[in-house]
Each structure stands twice: as C-alpha cells, then as structure tokens.
A and B are shown apart, each in its own frame.
Chain A
Amino acid sequence: MTDTLILGGFTFQNADFSPPTRMPFGGAQALIVHKLPGGTRVIDTLGPDEDDITWSGFFFCTNALQQCQQLDAMRAGGLKVQLTYAGMSRQVVVKRFKPHIRRYPHWIEYEITCTVSDNPFANSSFTPPATPDTLVSSDLSTAATASTEGPGPPASEGGGGGGTGGLPLAL
C-alpha cells in the first residue's frame, strides 16, 4: 500500500528518495500520580500528550538543495502546517530541521522534528470522566429504583465508574 508524506504542502517524493524508512506517531497520557502512605497511588489522567514526530532520510536528486531550503524556510517561519501521512493528519510546527550535505548539490541527508499542535484523532476520543457526585448518586438512585420495581434489565454501565464496567473515576 502506497502512502504520501506531505508537510505543509511539501511532498516527500519517491523520485527524490526523500520519504523516510519509518514514521512514528503516538505519545503519552499526561498523568499526575499522587503517592500515598503504604504504597497506594491515585492517578489522575489529564488526556493525551502527543510526542514530537521525528523522522530522517535523504534527498538524492538534482534539486536536493532547493528542496532542503524550502523545508528550512518552513522551520524558520514557525507557522502551523499540516502534516499528513498514513491516512492521518495533524497540525504541527516544524521544531527542528537539520540537513547534512553529503555530495553537493544532489545528496543531502536530513533530520526533521515536528511538534504536534493539534491531533484531532486523539482529542475526538477523549472524554473527561464524570464527577464523583454524578457517578455515586446515579448508582445509588438506580439501587433505590431497583428496590421497588420488578425485574428489569441489569444496572446500566453508563453511570458507573468502576467495577465491572464504565469509565474509571481515577485509576
């Protein structure tokens, strides 16, 4: 399956041999860990924290220097640009671009690092957990209803925060 790496309108073309041999994505989950006496921990999750996207490769073409100068201008400009690859798209800022001339002017190796400004893929799936009051109150309300009503479907998972299902309150 073929794919095209595009950074701010600049296409890394196979004809230039410039596409990298590997491309990363992903990152971390921002956490605050409260360490309590006895080894107990309470972990608050703050949401996704995207890693910088770094890749390297080389240009081997007649206009290699011009291509690198174009990317370097993007780095100097410091504007948000669109990074597209592997069916994914992110808003990034070119944090670092470092070309190394191996054979002037047609063989130049490069390393590039982009800082993610916005990752719609990560943000769209993140939902902050409900408040403790909502979780506990809704469960107790369900229990009160169950105590007076006849047989019904099992307790809903939606209002829960732990146990057999539901989003953990703080885990």
Chain B
Amino acid sequence: MTVPVKLTKNLAALRMQVAQASPLGAAPYATLQAIHLNAEQLETDTTLALYDAAGKLDTWVAPRDQPGIISGFQVAVGSALDEWRLMDMLASISRAVLNLELLIGDLSVQTQRTTLIQS
C-alpha cells in the first residue's frame, strides 16, 4: 500500500494552483481563498488517511499460518511506512495552510484550530 492516489493528485493540483497564482501577495482575494480551501481539504484528507494507516497498525492481529504471517507482516510494515509518509506530509501541509490563513487575514482560525494528531 502507498499514500492514496487521491492525496498525491490533489497535492500536485494544489502546487500547480499556487504556482499559477504567484506572486501570492498580489493575487486576488478570491484566488487566495480558493487555494486556502483546497489546502484545508487536503489537510483533512491527509489526516483521515493517517487515521486509516494508524488504525491498521493498531488493530493488526498476527496471523497464525505461515503464509499469513509473512503477508501480515508485510502489511504491517507497509502501514508503518504509510504512517511515516503521511505524518511528514501532514506537517508540511498544515504549515502551508497556516501560512495561507495568515495571508488571507484569517487569523481567528489559528486559535480555534484543534490538533487532530497529537505530537
């Protein structure tokens, strides 16, 4: 298993939007708001994918048969790798979202933010 394709596609699209709107400081407010909403959605999707990967690890039960042990172990390792990747992605995406919030002046969001994944 790898990072969901939906996430990588949305991330690539967001990068393209940011590049096209450059310089962000001079971009129209509506464009910035749209980019910000897309980034927030990506942040939410990444968080949910992280929950999914973490859940697979938390609920993993070791198979008893020999082929099952091997495949089960591979699944566990794959989920751990995904969790690593998604954690790194979420850290960067969250910071990009916060910078976009600062850019559009949506500072009140900062105090209302809840930490979905405790560090």
Contact = CB atoms under 8 A, between A and B. Distances in A.
**B is bound to A:** yes
Interface of A: 34, 36, 38-42, 131-133, 135-137, 139-144, 146-152, 154-155, 160-164, 166, 168-171
Interface string B82-99: 001100110111111011
B24 A136 contact: yes
A152 B84 CA distance: 8
Interface centre among A131, A140, A151 (most CB of B within 10 A): A140
Interface string B1-32: 00100011001101100110011110000000
A167 B58 CA distance: 36
B81 A147 contact: no
Interface residues of B, number: 36
B102 A139 contact: no
A131 B25 contact: yes
A135 B108 CA distance: 20
A133 B103 CA distance: 10
B107 interface: yes
A146 B83 CA distance: 11
Given A137-B15, A140-B18, A160-B95, A147 B89 contact: yes
Contacts of B7: 147
